Structure formats: C-alpha cells, structure tokens
Structure 1
C-alpha cells in the first residue's frame, strides 16, 4: 500500500517535471489603412522541477492559427477548349492562416501519433469530414487548398527556425501577411522529446480593424444602404474634384 502511494506521488512530479512558459511580443495586432503585414516574436523558457538530464534533448514546435471557416474547393477541367468547374468539395473548417515553426526537421521532432492527437501540422489542422460519393480523391482537394494558401503566404512551414538555447530558452519570429482575417489567432507551443509531446501552452493574439477602417467596416455590415450611398457620393466628389483640377491646370 505504501509503495502504491509513493508511485502516485511521484507520477505528478514526473509529468510536470518540464513545462513551457510562453511570451509574445504583442497580444493584439491592429489593421489600419496602411497595414502591410506584421511580425510577431514568440519567446519562452522551459520550467523544470529537476535539473537537465542526459535524456534525449527537447525540441520546440510553435503554431499560429487564424480563425477557421468552411471553404469550397473547386476543380477545373478543360472541356471543349475552355476551363469549367467540374467538381467541388466543401472543407468543413480550414484556418485562414496557419504557420508551423520548429527547432528541427518536422519529421524528427514530432511523431505521427502525436500529430494526430494534437493536430499540429497543416493537414491535421484542416477538418474535412467527407466528400460527395462521386468524388474518390477528396484528399487532393485539401492538398490543393494547402498549396494555394502556401503560395499566398497564408500557410507556412518553417523548419529549424526556432532558436533553442541550452535546452532552456527559445525564440522565433513569424511573419503575418497583410491579408489577415479578423479574429483570434491561437498560438501554441509544444515541447517534444523523441517526437512525443511532454508539455504544451496556448495563448491568443487578437487581430482587428481600428479607427476609421473599423467604423467603415461596421457601417458596411450594419447599414449597407447608407454605406453604398456614401461610397457613391465620395466617388462622384472625387471625380468632380479631379476634373476641376485638370481644367484649372489646362487653363493656366
């Protein structure tokens, strides 16, 4: 009985022997008229209850995920000399932005079973329940979505960019593009050893429009008629002003 109690006391200590402490350079990103993207610095440390051992070294994985929304992916085929939509698959939830940064090659720092459990890689972060019965290669639609968003800088795989000093301090930077979706961006840190996750931590960065951009955005959603009339009026006044300025320059 005493032996069992001793084991129960030791297990929590071992499970929490190494935990990750996270820091962010900012917890909010404001989108303004001249917003051309942003860069966030993710840094942290490994908190230990015991000294560093000679076991297999730790590795660090950082993920940043934007708001997830359904996406319809269409495939085009050439028919009679023109390209037409031939098939479509609706992906149930795909992050608008997703970045994975690691301290080493991904295949070395993460086991597949751990990826399945924590949904770390881009493929696992996308949720696609099913496809129409007449589509046999639905996985290709998900691959195409990932490929297109990678080309646009919205999906990123950054292997070996996490600096991990003395198995204690780590840091990395992730570039966010200009075409961000508003909402909460979930930042997760995973400590792994031998590909298995030993600790994880999560925080949220909020991205949103501010100032005049926010007011115009809310006006377009709450009062679209007023927004449309105002847009037309501004366009007419701008055209009239440009025409008047051109006439003055021509007559001078």
Structure 2
C-alpha cells in the first residue's frame, strides 16, 4: 500500500512528456574526395506520443545542421583618397562554417524569440559575436557575414521546407555544398508547440577528407617543408613539360 502510494506520488510529481522526436538520417558520414561536388542528406522521423494528437494544429518541426564553428574577423573597405582600404572591423567569436535551418512553417509562427535565444536555432543566434569597440555596427557586420556565406550556400534558411504529415511524420533534405569544412556537423531537430520547444533530438554528420585529399591535407599540416618542396618540384616539372611541348610544336 505504501509502495503504491509512493509510485502514484512520483507520477504526479514527474511531468509526462507527451510528444518526443524519433529521427534518423540517410547518411551520417560524408567523404570529401578530389571530385567532391556536394552531397544531399535526407532527414526524416516521427513524433512519438503518449497521448492522443491534440486537436489544435500548431505543432512545428525545425531542423538545424551546423558545421564546426570558427572565429572570423569581418572588415569593411572604404575608398580613401581614391584607394580602397580597411576602415573598420569586427570580431566574431564563433561562426558556424556551415549552417542550414529548415522548418515546417514560417519560423515566427512556430518559434518565439525567447526560445530562439535559448536554443540558438536561427542563423543569427547561432553566431557568437564579440563587442570589439564597434558595438553599434556589430549587427551590420554580422549581417554582412550571413549575406556573404548565404551567397556561397554555406548559410541556408528554408522555411516551410519540412514536410509534416498528419502532425506525426516529417522529412526534409539538405544540400551540402562542395566547399564544406572538415569536421563534425551537429544536427538538431526541435519539436515546438505554442511557439515553445517541447522536445529536442540531436545527432551528428561526420565530414572528412579521404584518399588523395586526405594525404595532401595531412602533408600540408604535418610536413609543411616537404609539402612546399613537393609543390615546387611539381611546378618546375609542369613548367619544363610545357616548355618542351611548345618547342616540339614549334619545331
């Protein structure tokens, strides 16, 4: 009797998580080779429920893929005396080398600003900036970084790109460009209701150079002298070969 009462009390104290995310990826490893021209990742999953589907249709799904963060210095050029020179700069403490976010509806409809700041979901909140003495212009520098990397397909925002079926099954695809940075790509899936995050699922995509790309990368970073000598030898050989071909054709 006492044990039953304790179990009942425990059920009353602990919150029942009615909706949780179960998800998977079409691939968790991307290999960068000499002819790598990008890749596509399919992310799919379902909403697991302990109760019936709520009658209100306000469930949201947000998926974010984040590449390894790195510090960045943004500089602004201005024309001074007819010459373009750097006149201002701002330091970004950590900016994702790749960031893509997709949602089942417009983000402002399924995510509050408070939850966005807490979980750092949108591109702007995923960038950590430092006040470098140009605080009043920091937003402009951050906007410039987002604009530049968006033009290179490194930053992507795709609202309403997650297909949500019957408030249960969801799926979307992410296009990874060819200019990826090697490392672990953090992948997060958020379930929202009433603009609040009610569950989060996290996994990772491993992006690595393989084959000749890996050998050249290791040589350049671990044996820079040998890499430099080898590059010089290749350049000399290529120049001599081109010269020999030219003389042969001329003769």
Q: TM-score range by the shorter chain?
A: over 0.9
Task: Report the CA distance shift for 1:135/1:43 in structure 2 as closer, same or farther (over 3 A).
Answer: closer
Q: Which residue in 2 is equivalent to 1:148?
A: 148
Q: Which residue in 2 is equivalent to 1:32?
A: 33
Q: Deviations over 1:61-98 (max 9, x none)?
A: 00000000110011122212222111111110100010
Segment of structure 1 superposing worse, 70-79 or 110-119? 70-79
Aligned residues: 249
Q: Secondary structure at the match of 1:141?
A: helix
The unaligned stretches of length 5 or more in structure 1 are none
Task: Report the CA distance shift for 1:28/1:36 in structure 2 as closer, same or farther (over 3 A).
Answer: same
Q: Which residue in 2 is equivalent to 1:129?
A: 130
Q: Secondary structure at the match of 1:137?
A: helix
The answer to whether structure 1 residue 84 and structure 2 residue 85 are counterparts is yes
Q: Which residue in 2 is equivalent to 1:49?
A: 50
| Contact 1:56 1:194 (8 Å CA) reproduced | no
**TM (normalized to structure 1)?**
0.92
Task: Report the CA distance shift for 1:11/1:248 in structure 2 as closer, same or farther (over 3 A).
Answer: farther
Distance in 1, matches of 2:59 and 2:182, equals 34
| Contact 2:91 2:130 (8 Å CA) reproduced | no
Distance in 2, matches of 1:107 and 1:123, equals 14
| Contact 2:58 2:110 (8 Å CA) reproduced | no
Q: Secondary structure at the match of 2:121?
A: coil
Report the Cα offset of residue 139 of structure 1.
1.7
Report the Cα offset of residue 242 of structure 1.
3.2
Task: Report the CA distance shift for 1:58/1:249 in structure 2 as closer, same or farther (over 3 A).
Answer: same
Q: Which residue in 1 is equivalent to 2:194?
A: 194
Q: Secondary structure at the match of 2:87?
A: strand
Segment of structure 1 superposing worse, 49-58 or 216-225? 49-58
Task: Report the CA distance shift for 1:12/1:129 in structure 2 as closer, same or farther (over 3 A).
Answer: farther
Task: Report the CA distance shift for 1:201/1:81 in structure 2 as closer, same or farther (over 3 A).
Answer: same
Q: CA RMSD in A?
A: 2.1
Distance in 1, matches of 2:141 and 2:9, equals 49
The answer to whether structure 1 residue 243 and structure 2 residue 227 are counterparts is no
Task: Report the CA distance shift for 1:249/1:200 in structure 2 as closer, same or farther (over 3 A).
Answer: same
